[in-house]
Structure 1
């Protein structure tokens, strides 16, 4: 007797990884390609290596310190700045989740208390990554400004805000939302 194939209720980790890689690759390419071009064409190597070292020091900062970088304790501040709109276009964001739920309607990124705690920890690591990148973009933007590359400096500042500042605020906003989630959901 043949048993009909049962449709899986959860996507595989590989499929989730592929879906979530798309916004990461897109945002990274849009921001890092211009940065790399400028560094390759205009930044003297000793300066570039120095900027890298200074930026990477951000990884030495304990995540417990990130509470001091919190823009605001209120979600309304982030909402006024349009931060939640960014979540539509990120990994595990609204668009990615909608695409996954078309095939797997029961899918939820955070299903358990352990997943919720893991998600909260991940927000700190993502904020730390964007802090490191923020410092690097800032140093390279300053270099561009000092050396008279005003167009490059303006572009790099714009990309820094888009690629690093807003994502850091998004992680802070997500933690505020997690902290205010009903106790039964945690």
Structure 2
């Protein structure tokens, strides 16, 4: 009988990527399916292409602009809005990390301090993505209002807050928390 393979102390990058993809796919399906349905059924194609083009311009925003758009320099403001609660159900969030640590007790998401710059850079990338989507949702919501589709406008607004505004605030909050870590000497 062959000997059992030793249990890995940490998960493979593929396992980590898969576990973190699950909440991304879940939130994206819940938010984007209604948006796609509305766009397919009601948005004229030239308007749709224009909304996409305008939204994608946000990717060109410099990081300095994102810093100016930050809600607050105080983590307490984000806590008052319950932004940290969102971190339980996101990629690299509390739930995903807890599940990974259950199977791989030595797993830690936060990299060594030398790699924190990469975490900050990634947070700006994620924030930009959600700004792009926020602008697209706003344009589409405005289109729904112009057509008198008030139910769609309400739903798209609600989804925009949950899928884009709160994730933007979460990235800002996480960067504030990273700044509070003691500096290496």
Same fold (TM over 0.5): yes
- In structure 2, the residue matched to 1:86 is 86
Matches within 5 A, 1:131-150: 131-150=131-150
4+ residue segments displaced more than 6 Å: none
The farther-off stretch of 81-90 and 106-115 is 106-115
In structure 2, the partner of 1:119 is 119
Q: What CA distance in whole angstroms lies between the structure 1 residues aligned with 2:103 and 2:21?
A: 18
Q: Under a length normalisation based on structure 2, what TM-score does the superposition of the two structures give? A: 0.96
Match of 2:12 in 1: 12
Structure 1 unmatched runs, 5+: none
Does the 8 Å contact 1:63/1:125 carry over to 2? Answer: no
For residues 36-55 of structure 1, the aligned pairs below 5 Å read 36-55=36-55
Question: Could you tell me how far 1:3 is from its partner in structure 2?
Answer: 7.4
Q: Pairwise CA RMSD of aligned residues?
A: 1.4
Q: What secondary structure is seen at the aligned counterpart in 2 of 1:183? A: coil
* Residues 75 and 176, structure 1, Cα contact 8 Å, conserved in 2: yes
Quote the residue 2:128 is aligned against: 128
CA distance in 2 between counterparts of 1:16 and 1:4 reads: 23
For residues 94-143 of structure 1, what are the alpha-carbon distances to aligned partners after superposition, in whole Å with 9 as ceiling and x for unaligned? Answer: 00000000011111111312332211110000000000000000000000
1:58-90 CA distances to partner (integer Å, 9 max, x unpaired)?
011112321001000000000000000000000
Gaps of 5+ in 2: none
Give deviations 1:136-159, integer Å, cap 9, x for gaps: 000000000011000000000000
Identify which range, 83-92 or 114-123, moves more after superposition: 114-123
Q: What is the number of equivalent residue pairs in this alignment?
A: 184
